[in-house]
């Protein structure tokens, strides 16, 4: 919907939970609107005097926005990858600029500790509020005009607050069949159940969603038809898929038809890595501008798949954003973007729970963002995207060196990877004298992720010598344990299965691992893949 045609959000108050409806303004927090009134002499709140805060100022050396290159620094030669592997990536000193946050500011409106470390409103410090509104407007471009932003302590907190604002005990939440386990763990104690929807290569299937909702029988399901959806559309956790524009529009249309609220959890939005290209086929390509500029910011934003907000002309999307993946998870800072009704209810909840994110984190993140400016932050995001792209490429390159990878054409693939080129991995004979019983045996398969931080592996456990139907979880954990005993930890796949929680354990004779390439350095990534190759070969050769 074009900006010219934007309208206000529709009335969605019937989606509020009974708990949310019962929330009133916190008696003391209700006085906040008077605190900023010029000349007010406030003796109402129990606010400690800033004179007794034992910190005079906070200083930090902040990396410059263009600290990371915009194209991979290595070429496609084997030697350059060895250099990357054994060379020190920290040999070049970091370029930084100093920033300081004083206790008291000389100018009105400047960030200061006297304000940041004091009790404050649940929305955001003013400077951060201004930045987030500009950022949301430029990047996500909501299709309705009266949207609001509200801070939280990260997306886990955001989801917890959203689901209790919208759902009553005994209801269900629509989600992808494989999803983020903490999102499900937070709703189960509330007697709110996951309702899995089948996936393909770009995420949740719109036709499956339509079929599920149109045929919903509240008696047999023992719950009303779900009216809330939890979805991770970019760098889907755990599969690494990214939802296309067409699919998002289809999902949104179904949600309009059946009156469903979409909670869009999007922590990996700026880690859209593109399609993996094998090492020997890569070329450096044109180098984009390295300096922050409005032109390059606009170009970068245009390459990103749009948010659900961009299609949301009714205000039925609650978007969750976080600085955890783009600045630091310890900052515990994120934000909602949603209609004003939902924002007001979420604010009421924040007043009596977290109140507001930590003042240190808020002030430091706000200082960094205002120091960089919007264009500087976009330049930072472009750089870290390239860094994670290199990590993804290196990890998949290591898999290609350790295993023989056989591509399966996209039109032959079904289920979660339907429409994708899937790589099936078997043992690679690296020398003439070397042979394995698993040489022609498909032990695992995967699709290189197009976004996020993970490779989702399917384990072909039906090829194990001792396999019997129903052994999937036991064999998955047996292999996982062997890897752990050899010094490598992967995330076992069962914990990401929404179907497991509904009693549906049919996963087509397979197990899964989610493998992160985001944190471990290149030499250890290489070592981990080598150990994995040895252990999985031994595992599949048992009893042969």
pLDDT one-digit tens code per residue, 74-110: 543 334 444 444 444 444 578 999 999 999 988 888 9
The answer on pLDDT for 255 being more than 80 is yes
At residue 47, the pLDDT reads 83
182 assigned to some structural domain: no
Q: Kindly report, residue by residue over 127-173, the tens digit of the pLDDT.
A: 999 999 999 999 999 999 999 999 998 899 999 999 999 999 999 99
> ∠ CA 392-393-396 to the nearest 5 degrees?
85
Within-domain flag for 191: no
Measured distance CA(223)–CA(193) in Å, rounded: 9
- Lowest-confidence pick of 4-8, 175-179, 363-367: 4-8
Domain membership of residue 478 (yes or no) is: yes
What's the token pair of residue 300?
């970068």
**Count of domains for the chain:** 1
Place of tokens 């592996």: 457
Angle at 415 between CA 406 and CA 185, to 5 degrees: 115
Q: What is the mean pLDDT of residues 171-176?
A: 97
* 458 within domain boundaries: yes
| Residue 336: closest CA among 322, 314, 320 | 320
Please choose, from the candidates 69, 62, 92, the residue with its C-alpha nearest in 3D space to the C-alpha of residue 384. Answer: 69
Check which CATH number belongs to the domain holding 461 and give it: 3.90.1150
More confident residue, 226 or 463: 226
Contact 446, 416 (CB under 8 A): no
**Is residue 110, in this structure, part of any structural domain at all?**
no
pLDDT at 80: 47
Handedness of CA 25, 355, 236, 380 (dihedral sign): positive
- Average of per-residue pLDDT across 283-305: 83
Asked if residue 436 is part of any domain, the answer here is: yes
* Residue 92 confidence (pLDDT): 55
pTM for this one?
A: 0.91
**Tell me, what's the pLDDT at 438?**
58
At residue 83, the pLDDT reads: 44
478 pLDDT above the threshold of 50: yes
Instruction: For residues 178-197, give the mean pLDDT.
Output: 95
At residue 15's C-alpha, the angle toward residues 9 and 18, to 5°, is 135
Q: Taking 70 as the threshold, does the pLDDT of residue 507 lie above it?
A: no
Instruction: Rounding to the nearest 10 degrees, give the CA dihedral for residues 138, 140, 142, 148.
Output: -80
Q: What confidence category does residue 124 fall into, taking pLDDT thresholds of 50, 70 and 90? A: confident
Residue 407 located in a structural domain: yes
Phi, psi of 336 (to 5 degrees): -90, 150
Q: Average of pLDDT values for 187-202?
A: 96
The answer to whether position 188 is within a domain reads no
| Mean pLDDT, the chain, whole residue set | 89
Containing structural domain, residue 529:
390-541
């Amino acid at each position: 919907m074009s900006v010219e045609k934007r309208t206000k959000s529709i009335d969605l108050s019937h989606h509020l939970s009974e708990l949310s409806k019962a929330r009133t303004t916190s008696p003391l927090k209700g006085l906040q609107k008077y605190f900023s009134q010029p000349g007010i002499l406030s003796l109402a709140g129990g606010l400690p005097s800033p004179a007794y805060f034992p910190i005079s100022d906070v200083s930090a050396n902040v990396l410059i926005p263009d600290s990371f290159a915009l194209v991979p620094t290595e070429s496609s030669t084997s030697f350059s990858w060895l250099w990357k592997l054994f060379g020190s990536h920290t040999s070049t000193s970091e370029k930084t600029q100093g920033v300081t946050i004083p206790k008291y500011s000389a100018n009105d409106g400047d960030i200061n500790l006297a304000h940041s470390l004091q009790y404050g409103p649940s929305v955001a410090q003013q400077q951060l509020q201004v930045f987030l509104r500009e950022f949301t407007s430029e990047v996500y471009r909501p299709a309705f005009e009266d949207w609001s932003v509200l801070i939280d302590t990260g997306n886990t907190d955001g989801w917890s607050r959203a689901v209790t604002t919208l759902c009553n005990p005994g209801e269900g939440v629509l989600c992808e069949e494989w999803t983020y386990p903490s999102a499900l763990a937070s709703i189960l104690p509330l007697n709110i159940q996951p309702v899995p929807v089948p996936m393909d290569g770009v995420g949740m299937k719109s036709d499956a969603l339509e079929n599920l909702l149109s045929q919903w029988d509240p008696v047999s399901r023992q719950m009303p038809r779900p009216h809330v959806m939890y979805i991770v559309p970019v760098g889907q956790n755990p599969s690494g898929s990214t939802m296309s524009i067409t699919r998002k529009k289809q999902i949104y249309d179904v949600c309009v038809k059946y009156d469903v609220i979409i909670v869009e959890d999007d922590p990996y939005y700026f880690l859209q890595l593109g399609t993996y290209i094998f090492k020997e086929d890569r070329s450096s390509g044109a180098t984009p501008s390295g300096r922050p500029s409005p032109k390059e910011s606009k170009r970068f934003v245009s390459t990103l798949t749009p948010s659900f907000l961009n299609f949301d002309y009714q205000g039925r999307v609650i978007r969750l954003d976080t600085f955890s993946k783009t600045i630091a998870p310890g900052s515990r800072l994120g934000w909602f973007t949603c209609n004003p009704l939902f924002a007001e209810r979420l604010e009421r909840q924040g007043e009596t729970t977290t109140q507001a994110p930590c003042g240190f984190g808020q002030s430091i993140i706000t200082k960094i963002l205002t120091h960089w400016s919007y264009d500087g932050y976009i330049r930072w995001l472009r750089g870290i995207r390239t860094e994670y792209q290199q990590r993804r490429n290196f990890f998949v390159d290591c898999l290609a060196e350790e295993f023989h990878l056989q591509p399966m054409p996209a039109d032959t693939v079904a289920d979660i990877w339907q429409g994708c080129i899937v790589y099936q991995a078997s043992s690679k004979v690296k020398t003439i004298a070397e042979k394995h019983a698993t040489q022609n045996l498909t032990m695992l398969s995967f699709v290189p992720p197009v976004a996020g931080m993970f490779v989702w592996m399917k384990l072909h456990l039906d090829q194990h010598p001792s396999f019997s139907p129903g052994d999937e979880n036991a064999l998955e954990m047996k292999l996982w344990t062997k890897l752990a005993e050899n010094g490598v930890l992967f995330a076992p796949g069962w914990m990401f299965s929404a179907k497991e929680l509904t009693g549906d354990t049919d996963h087509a004779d397979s197990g899964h691992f989610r493998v992160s390439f985001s944190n471990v350095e290149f030499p250890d990534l290489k070592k981990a893949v080598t150990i994995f190759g040895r252990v999985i070969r031994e595992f599949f050769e048992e009893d042969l």
